[in-house]
Each structure stands twice: as structure tokens, then as C-alpha cells.
Amino acid sequence: MDQAPLSAHDIFPHIRIVMGMVIGLGVTRLLSGVARIIQHPRQYPLYPIHLAWVAMLLLMLVHFWWWEIDLYVVTDWTFGKYVFVVFYAITLFLMCALLFPDSMLDYRGYEEFFYARRAWFFGLLALTYLLDIVDTLLKGRDYFARFDNEYWMRTPVMVALCIAAIAVRDWRYHALFVTGALIYQISWIFRLFDTII
């Protein structure tokens, strides 16, 4: 007996569950790291810039889960599109793992660890902004059009700031970057994603 082909409405919940598992692992990693800091505050010296990126990444994960609801408009799912969306989620998880590693034995504290791994962290962050372009296009022209010129300025600016963050170790640059990124991300969410209509 032939089986009827699956519709996009059948496939989307499956994809969303897989994405949710990966994003859930990232949230778990961040919350476990924060819990470990609360439980053992003197184990490793804290670093405010590191903690600010933890907050930024938690916001990004929650926002990612929210904005990916718009994938329901995709009507022609392929394995390639599915792999792309899962890969996008994996990059976010990897950034979480870079903020809270399995072991800190080789480092004196979070500041030393953060700067030692900044090329990986900011490389992945830059990649997420580039992946977002593909993700937005995946959702269709009407969805893409709603972002206007700000989107085209935001992406290259954020990628350039990430590249600079790889090269620059000065704490003042990193403090300004994470503060500006947090403020902008909150503004971006409330201006463009505060509704699903």
C-alpha cells in the first residue's frame, strides 16, 4: 500500500523538535554554568564581560526559538534545508560550550579562558549572522522584505565587530561590544519580533 506524502505541516513539528533539543542543550549548558558559579563562587574568578556574553547568548537562544516559528511558511522542505536549520542551532550550542567549558583546569579564571577562546567564540558568532541571512531567505520573500535596510546594515556591522573582537583583546572594546550588542538585540526583538502576526 502506498503511503501518502507528508505535508509541510507534518514535517515542520518534527524539525522544530530536533531544533528544540539542540537549543535546549545550549540553554542547559548556560544555566548549568551559572548554577555552578552560584554554587562555587570562589572556584574561578568571575569576569563581567564573560557574564554579559552569557546573558546575550541566552537571549539569542530564546529569540532563535521564537523567530524559527516562521519556518511554518516553508512548504517545500528538503533534507538540505533541514540540515541547514539544525546546523544553525548547533552553532549556537557550540558558543554556549565555549562560554562554559567542561573543564577550566588549564585557566586561572573566566577572563583568561574567554580571551584564549575568543577566536572560536566570535568566529561562530559572526557565522550565525551570516547563517541568519540564509535562514531569512528560506522563509520567503515577503518575510525577508519586512526587515528593510536595517537588516542589510546590521549583518555586516555585526560580522565586522566580531572580526575585530577576534583581533582585539582590550577589555574596553569587549565591554562596549557586548553592551551594545545586548541593547541592540533587545531593541531588535521588541521592534520586529514582539508578535507572530
Whole-number pLDDT of residue 13:
80
Whole-number pLDDT of residue 191:
82
Q: How confident is the model at residue 167 (pLDDT cuts 50, 70, 90)?
A: very high
Per-residue model confidence as pLDDT tens digits over 119-156: 999 999 999 999 999 998 888 888 788 777 888 899 99
Q: How confident is the model at residue 24 (pLDDT cuts 50, 70, 90)?
A: very high
Per-residue model confidence as pLDDT tens digits over 38-57: 999 888 889 999 999 999 99
Whole-number pLDDT of residue 72:
80
Whole-number pLDDT of residue 114:
96
Q: Which pTM does this prediction carry? A: 0.89
Whole-number pLDDT of residue 86:
93
Q: What are phi and psi of 91, to 5 degrees?
A: -60, -40
**Is 73's pLDDT higher than 90?**
no
Those residues with Cβ within 8 angstroms of residue 29's Cβ, 6 or more apart along the chain or in another chain:
93, 96, 97, 99, 100
Which H or E element spans position 76? Answer: none
Percentage of the chain with pLDDT > 90?
A: 62
* C-beta of residue 115 within 8 angstroms of C-beta of residue 169: yes
| Residue carrying C-alpha cell 523538535 | 17
**Is 4's pLDDT higher than 60?**
no
* C-beta of residue 131 within 8 angstroms of C-beta of residue 9: no
* C-beta of residue 167 within 8 angstroms of C-beta of residue 190: no
Whole-number pLDDT of residue 149:
84
* C-beta of residue 139 within 8 angstroms of C-beta of residue 71: yes
Cα Rg of the chain (Å, integer) = 18
Q: How many Cβ atoms are within 10 Å of 94's Cβ, its own excluded?
A: 16
Whole-number pLDDT of residue 104:
86
